[in-house]
């Protein structure tokens, strides 16, 4: 049978996609009939949790806005808390929905986290730690996520070459930011750039024809 790692279902149908979340299935080595667990209760739980978190977030921000209106000088903290709660709510939503692929979720949430951390740095005194550490750390995380996704979805690993190219592009960007002293810590930048180049090079070497065909199909290279 095939197994969906996300939903935990075992499927004997002739399909490579989970009927619930549409994720790519993996062979679990077990022979038997379809086993479709009741996932409706789990989905309901997460939807209720999402609504509770959203409601509490609105209450928290609303309370801080009222405190600001009544004289408390907490505008910067309102922005910081709002950014954090925004990320939490978006993360919960994207973890529930099965309409978006893991690659897009990983990329979107990582970039969103980087932007939010830059905003938090700006509104808490702007000590530039977000540029020195968060930008290269985001690329390092994306490289690790790319490798993990390629291992998990080993049947279609070549589809993540586009994410590797994205990592290389942003590695070039942060290398330029280092050159012009916008980023002041070279160690993180060197690690991020090296990982991006090594992972892409390794994919081309070990991926062989499948890797080159994917590049031709997507980018006409």
What confidence tens digit (pLDDT) does each residue in 188-209 have?
999 999 999 999 999 999 998 8
Residues 92 and 124 in one domain: no
Residue 15: which residues within 8 A CB-CB, separation 6 or more?
Answer: 2, 25
Query: What is the band of 39 on the pLDDT scale with cuts at 50, 70, 90?
Result: low
Please give the model's pTM, rounded to 2 decimal places.
Answer: 0.75
The residue among 99, 115, 134 that closes a domain is 99
Domain boundaries, position 25: 1-37
Strand order in the sheet with 10-11: 10-11, 2-3, 26-27
CA proximity to 93, closest of 125, 46, 133, 52: 46
In whole numbers, what is the pLDDT of the chain averaged over residues?
A: 86
Helix, coil or strand: residue 23:
coil
Query: What is the band of 34 on the pLDDT scale with cuts at 50, 70, 90?
Result: very low
Residues 89 and 131 in one domain: no
Instruction: Look at the chain and report how many structural domains it folds into.
Output: 3
Residues 81 and 146 in one domain: no
Residues 109 and 200 in one domain: yes
Residues 144 and 62 in one domain: no
Residues 33 and 43 in one domain: no
CA proximity to 83, closest of 121, 139, 130: 121
Helix, coil or strand: residue 2:
strand
Q: Count other Cβ atoms within 10 Å, centred on residue 54.
A: 15
Residues 122 and 209 in one domain: yes
């Amino acid at each position: 049978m095939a197994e969906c790692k996300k939903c935990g279902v075992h499927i004997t149908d002739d399909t490579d996609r989970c009927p619930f979340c549409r994720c790519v299935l993996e062979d679990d080595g077990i022979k038997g009939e379809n086993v479709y667990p009741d996932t409706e209760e789990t989905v309901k739980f997460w939807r209720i949790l999402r609504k509770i978190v959203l409601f509490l977030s609105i209450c928290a921000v609303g309370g801080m806005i009222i405190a600001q209106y009544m004289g408390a000088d907490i505008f910067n903290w309102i922005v910081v808390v709002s950014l954090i709660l925004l990320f939490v709510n978006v993360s919960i939503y994207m973890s529930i929905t099965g309409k978006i692929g893991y690659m897009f979720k990983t990329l979107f949430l990582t970039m969103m986290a980087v932007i939010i951390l830059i905003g938090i740095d700006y509104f808490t005194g702007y000590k530039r730690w977000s540029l020195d550490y968060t930008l290269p750390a985001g690329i390092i995380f994306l490289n690790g996520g790319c490798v993990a996704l390629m291992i998990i979805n080993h049947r279609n690993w070549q589809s993540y070459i586009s994410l590797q190219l994205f990592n290389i592009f942003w590695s070039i960007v942060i290398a330029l930011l280092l050159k012009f002293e916008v980023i002041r810590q070279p160690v993180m930048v060197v690690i991020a750039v090296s990982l991006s180049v090594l992972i892409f090079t390794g994919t081309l070497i070990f991926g062989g024809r499948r890797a080159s065909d994917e590049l031709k199909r997507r980018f006409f290279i």
